[in-house]
Amino acid sequence: MVRAWYMNDNDNEDQRCERHLSPPLYVNLDELKEKTGVLYWQINADNYENDETYAQIRQERGYDYQDNLEISKEKLADYESKLKIFFTEHLHADEEIRFCLNGSGYFDVRDRQDRWIRIKIEKNDLLVLPAGIYHRFTLDQSDYIKVIRLFIGQPCWTAINRPADDHPARQSWIKLVT
C-alpha cells in the first residue's frame, strides 16, 4: 500500500532517503487525490495479466500501450545521467502512469500550495500522475525498481522542465486541484 508524506527538501540530504519533516506529516490517499490529483490502485504484480481491476483501469482510461522499464546500475544505460534527468522537476502534457512490479522508489509531487509530497512506490502500486503536475522521481536506497509504463496511444515521454506555468496541461492541473 502506497505511503505519502510532506517532505523535507534539504538538498544536503541523500535524495534516496525518506526525507520526513520533523515531526512527520503523512498524507492519506484521499488527501493525495484532492491536493494533487494523483490516483492510486493496488494490483497484484505477480498476477496482473489476469487481474480484472488492472484490465478495467486500462480499458476505462484508454491505456492501450505498455512497456517495461528497469532502473538499476546494471540494467539502465547511462544510469547516473538518467537519474539526474528523472530528478529534475518537470511536468508532462499527458498522464504519467507507473505500475511497480518489483523494487521501490519515490515520486515527489507538488501540491496546490507548491509543497513537496513524497510518494513511496513499491511492488503492487499503480500510480497515475495527472498531466501538468510538477514532479520528479528517484530511486530509494534499494537502487532498483521495475515498472510497467502505460500510455494512451504511442509512447510519449517529453519532460517540460519547470518553469512551465503557462503550459496548457499546467493550467488544466491547476483547475483540477482548486
- Known binding-site residues for Ni(2+) equal 90, 92, 96, 135
Could you list the residues known to form a binding site, using ranges.
Answer: 90, 92, 96, 135
Q: Give how far the C-alpha of residue 142 lies from the chain's centroid of Cα atoms, to the nearest Å.
A: 17
Place of cell 491536493: 35
Could you list the residues known to form a binding site for Fe(2+), using ranges.
Answer: 90, 92, 96, 135
C-alpha–C-alpha distance, residues 11 and 152, integer Å: 35
Q: Are 107 and 119 in contact (CB under 8 A)?
A: yes
DSSP string, 68-85: EEEESTTTSTTHHHHHHH
Strand 65-71 to 39-42 pairing: unpaired
